[in-house]
Structure 1
Amino acid sequence: MTRSAPLPGLRLEKRHFNALDLSRLVAACAVLFWHYQHFFVPPVDYQFHVNRQVVSPLYRELWWLFDYGHVAVQYFWAVSGFVFAHVYLADAGARGRFWLARVARLWPLHLLTLGLVAVMQAAYSGANGTEFIYHHQDARHFLLSLGLAHYWGWQADQSFNGPSWSLSTEILAYAAFWLLLPSLRRSPFSMALMAAVLALALFFVKAPDGPVLTCIGYFFGGAAVYGAALQRGLKAGVLAVLAAALTLAALWLGLAWQWGDAATLAGTFAALMAMLAVDTADRDDRLAVARHLGDASYGVYLWHFPLQLALVLLLDETLGSRAIARQPAFLLFFVGLSVLAGFASHRWFERPAQRLVLKLARRGREGSAVAV
């Protein structure tokens, strides 16, 4: 089926944001460093504090990744908002295709890793009497996870493939985007900005379901940046100045005021502005080699915990110790293995599964049309 021409005035002339794609892969890898501390958590049935400074290899050189890699999740949300605005605002048929596209892209790998983690957690629990890191491995959390509803406020805590919590909250941001799409088309910047400010304001005043509110806030913040670009265009110099100003604001908020949430907000959009500045300056598309690197970020993000759990099971069984994880070579091995898994997953599982889901949906629609 041929798609109609893009709606006028709702899509930037620049089709590909290569630096932004590359940054998604870098952000996924940043999360790996934050979660590397899991290797040093013994079999306990309660929260265990890891002294990252003592046990993490290369901590002196990479302390900022080990201590702050988790804020890459907020960056993912902001980038998603920008990308969704770029893809869907000008697509006249977006609302009809939106959810099928999301299911085909997200659920196959989520379901695969969910099942694998459930099996390996059972093995770990059988050997140690408790679960590894995420302790809510029950039927209720499994059923919630099947629908990616496991971090909407009904959960006791993270469960099964724990990092997927951020994907669960993002589903609600998608729903808000889908509902607001007609209004966003009429006023891309102001509508997205209002949604972002409302969600983040509720978060900062400690309203319930803070993770969901932050996700929606960052997501629509990214969409608002896209709306501003539609109105004013993308100018590398302006973006670079904004990135520098937001970086200084993040440092001031974090160091002088010890206000981590506000510093993360400023730093996230500083990074987004910086990547957009690079993309805007790249008029000859010299960064085209990075165009598809971001495709692996979803796989890196969802595979790294199952891989970590598999390595822990192997180390506990064969060596009886995880001391090897304190070696720099093992850190590089884990990060490299996760990245390779991300690329392999995208090529040999995610894309084929996506095509299969879309093909089955198309057949279903054709069958329904014939029956009528």
Structure 2
Amino acid sequence: MTKPARPAPLPGLRVDKRHFNALDLSRLVASFAVLFWHYQHFFVPPVGYGFHVDREVLTPFYHPLRWLFDYGHVAVEYFWAVSGFVFAHVYLADSTAHRRFWIARVARLWPLHLLTLVLVAGLQGLYTHINGTAFIYHEQDWKHFLLSIPLAHYWGWQHNQSFNGPSWSLSTEILAYAAFWVLLPALRRAPLMVALPVAVVVLRLFFLGWPDEPVLTCIGYFFLGTSIYGAALRGWLTLPVLVAASVACVAAGWIAATRYHGEDATILAGTFAVFFATLAIDLADRGERLAIGRKLGDASYGIYLWHFPLQVALVLVIDATLGSRAIASQPAFLLFFLALAVAAGFASHRWIERPAQKAVLRLAGRWRAAA
């Protein structure tokens, strides 16, 4: 029995380019940047919040890789912007998107999220039993665990990051997904004219200091990514325009950093400088020479969610066997950790994420058929 053919894309809502390989590859690079930012966790002893790590003294390769160690966290904003663009590319032209959107999100995100959540809960329980306090993320209670299950643990009800801490960005992104799903009919009518005002208003509220700033930032970056896709649909994003936009963002970021000392504005400008440059590379890659980027980008989600459980496990082993974490200052250990996290990301995608995703979609199909 053959599967029914998927309906043809809605006209005028998908750009001619089928895959954005450089954009996919950039997701792997962004997840790699987060590893450098969180590497400092290895040097945090069993204490509460507020411990300062002297990265310049303790981390190997600090000076040549200073930007990654000090600013690797800004890759999260880049993830959000890319998500907005990719969601527009995937869902605007899909007439079945509104119906299948959430089951596709559940199948893609939740299996690995729930697995790493339970694993971190166990590892943190062991670490707390040994040291009397949790490792890095100290909100290890039933409230935060139950909020984490539906990825609602960073919607404003939390005391701080908890359990698999990096998943906080997924929690905020769920709300961006919800806004995208609600606005999907309007986005199809006028992608740019709907997405851009949403992004501008939400980011304006963020810069004004409204509560729940991470949620506002996420939604703002996400819909800026969506609005850029809307501009692409109008044929505005030619190679010269993308290069000029990237250079303009670099200049804006430099002015924001040096004249106004505005960190948030600098991150915003820098994020989209990289974003426009990556799109320019994709546009220039007419021969699909970067097709490998599709497969490499698939590992980014696993790298992002696995690296903290790996850190907790490694710290437990180091504390039990060596009694000192000085080994983390060795270049070989940094390379080992990076390689382990990347290997975990690729293995996770192949043997955990894809099979689980197919199983969830298969189960959902059976439920739909029964209904």
Q: Which residue of 1 aligns with 2:320?
A: 317
Residue of structure 1 in register with 2:306 after alignment: 303
Residue equivalent to 2:144: 141
Q: 2:59 aligned to 56, 61, 81, which one?
A: 56
The 8 Å contact of residues 81 and 219 in structure 1, kept in 2 or not, is answered as: yes
Which residue does the alignment assign to 2:239?
236
The 5 A counterparts of 1:45-194 are 45-194=48-197
CA distance in 2, matches of 1:342, 1:302: 8
Residue 15 of structure 2: which of 12, 28, 31 is its match? Answer: 12
Superposition TM-score, scaled by structure 1 size = 0.98
What is the deviation of 1:159? 0.1
Q: State percent identity of aligned pairs.
A: 69
Aligned pairs for 1:39-50 within 5 A: 39-50=42-53
Is it true that 1:289 corresponds to 2:292 in the alignment?
A: yes
Give the one of 328, 332, 335 matched to 1:329.
332
Alignment: residue pair count:
368
Alpha-carbon shift at residue 255 of structure 1 (Å): 2.3
Q: 255, 260, 271: which is aligned to 1:257?
A: 260
Structure-2 separation of matches of 1:200 and 1:122: 38
| 2:40 is the alignment partner of 1:25 | no
Rounded Cα–Cα distance in structure 2 between residues aligned with 1:152 and 1:286: 41
Residue 362 of structure 1 and its aligned partner are, at CA, apart by 1.1
**Residue 214 of structure 2 corresponds to residue 211 of structure 1:** yes
Q: Deviations over 1:255-288 (max 9, x none)?
A: 2221000000011111110000000001111111
One-letter amino acid of the counterpart of residue 307, structure 1: L
Residue of structure 2 in register with 1:267 after alignment: 270
Aligned to 1:280: 283
How far is 1:233 from its partner? 4.2
CA contact (8 A) 1:148 1:171 kept: yes
The amino acid that maps onto 1:160 is F
Equivalent-residue separation in structure 2 for 1:5 and 1:317 (angstroms): 58
**Matched position secondary structure for 1:2:** coil
Aligned partner of residue 60 in structure 1, secondary structure: coil
Give the corresponding residue for 1:366: 369
Give the CA deviation at 1:45.
2.1
Shift of 1:168: 0.2
2:48 aligns to what SS in structure 1?
A: coil
Deviation at 1:291, TM superposition (A): 1.8
What SS class does the counterpart of residue 64 from structure 1 fall into? helix
Runs of 4+ aligned structure 1 residues displaced above 4 Å come to none
- Please, what TM-score do these two structures have when normalized by structure 2? 0.98
- Equivalent residue letter for 2:12: G
Q: Per the alignment, in what secondary structure is the counterpart of residue 299 of structure 2? A: helix
CA contact (8 A) 1:234 1:280 kept: no
- Residue 307 of structure 1, CA deviation: 0.4
In structure 1, distance between residues paired with 2:292 and 2:6: 27
Distance between the aligned counterparts of 2:64 and 2:348, measured in 1?
Answer: 30
**Residues in 2 aligned to 1:315 and 1:258: alpha-carbon distance in whole angstroms:** 40
Shift of 1:245: 1.2
Aligned-partner residue type, residue 80 of structure 1: S
Q: Secondary structure at the match of 2:125?
A: helix
CA distance in 1, matches of 2:338, 2:319: 20
Give distance in 1, aligned partners of 2:158 and 2:241.
43
How far 1:234 moved relative to its partner?
3.3
Q: Report the Cα distance in structure 2 between the residues aligned to 1:334 and 1:270, rounded to whole angstroms.
A: 29
Question: C-alpha deviations, 1:13-58, integer Å up to 9, x for none?
Answer: 0001111010000000000000000000000023211111111110
Which sits farther off after the overlay, 106-115 or 233-242?
A: 233-242
Task: Show structure 2 runs of 5+ residues with no match.
Answer: none
